[in-house]
Amino acid sequence: MYKTFLTINRKEAGYRPVMERITDFGEVEQTLNSEDRMLQASRCMDCGIPFCHWSCPLGNIMPEWQDALSKGKWQQAYELLISTNNFPEFTGRVCPALCEKGCVLMLSEQQPVTIRENEAAVAEHAFQEDYIIPHPPASRTGKKVAIIGSGPAGLAAADMLNRQGHTVTVYEKEEAIGGLLRFGIPDFKLNKNIIDRRLSILEKEGIIFECNVEVGKEGSIKRFFERFDAVCLAIGAGQPRDLPVEGRDLQGIHFALELLQQQNRVIAGGNIAFSQLISAKNKRVLVIGGGDTGSDCVGTSIRHKAAKVTQIEIMPKPPVGTNPDTPWPTYPNTLKTSSSHLEGCERRWNLATKRFIGEKGKVKGVEVVEVEWIKTEDGKLSMKETGKSEIIKAELVLLCMGFLHPVHEGLLNNLGVNYDSRGNVAAIKPNMSSIPNVFVAGDVTTGASLVVRAIDSGRKAAAEINKFLKS
Residue range 182-214, pLDDT digits in tens? 999 999 999 999 999 999 999 999 999 999 999
CA distance 13 to 259: 29
Chain-centroid distance, C-alpha 270? 23
Q: Which of 99, 90, 217, 204 is nearest to 154 (CA)?
A: 90
pLDDT in tens, 304-329: 999 999 999 999 999 998 899 899 99
144-238+404-470: CATH homologous superfamily?
FAD/NAD(P)-binding domain (3.50.50.60)
Distance CA(186)–CA(193), nearest Å, equals 12
Q: What CA–CA distance (Å, rounded) separates 228 from 415?
A: 15
Beta bridge partners of 358: 363
Dump pLDDT digits (tens) for 434-444.
Answer: 999 999 999 99
Nearest Cα neighbor of 112 from 211, 5, 24, 27 is 5
pLDDT 10s digits, 78-125: 999 999 999 999 999 999 999 999 999 998 777 999 999 999 999 999
Q: What is the pLDDT of residues 351-396, one digit of tens each?
A: 999 999 999 999 999 999 999 999 888 888 899 999 999 999 999 9
Residue 219's pLDDT band, with cuts at 50, 70 and 90, is low
Q: Does domain 4-16+27-128 have CATH number 3.40.50.620?
A: no
How confident is the model at residue 218, as a pLDDT?
59
Beta carbons within 8 Å of 233's beta carbon, 6+ residues apart: 148, 149, 411, 412, 417, 425, 433, 438, 439, 440, 441, 444, 445
* CATH homologous superfamily for the domain 242-401: FAD/NAD(P)-binding domain (3.50.50.60)
Determine the Cα–Cα distance for residues 195 and 172; give it in Å rounded to an integer: 15
User: Could you tell me whether strands 308-312 and 239-240 are parallel, antiparallel, or unpaired per DSSP bridges?
Assistant: unpaired
Location of each CATH 3.50.50.60 domain in the chain: 144-238+404-470, 242-401
Q: Which of 194, 262, 218 lies closest to 451, judged by CA?
A: 194
Give the rounded percent of residues in the chain with a pLDDT score beyond 90: 91
Residue 171: pLDDT over 90? yes
pLDDT digit string, tens, across residues 12-63: 999 999 999 999 999 999 999 999 999 999 999 878 889 999 999 999 999 9
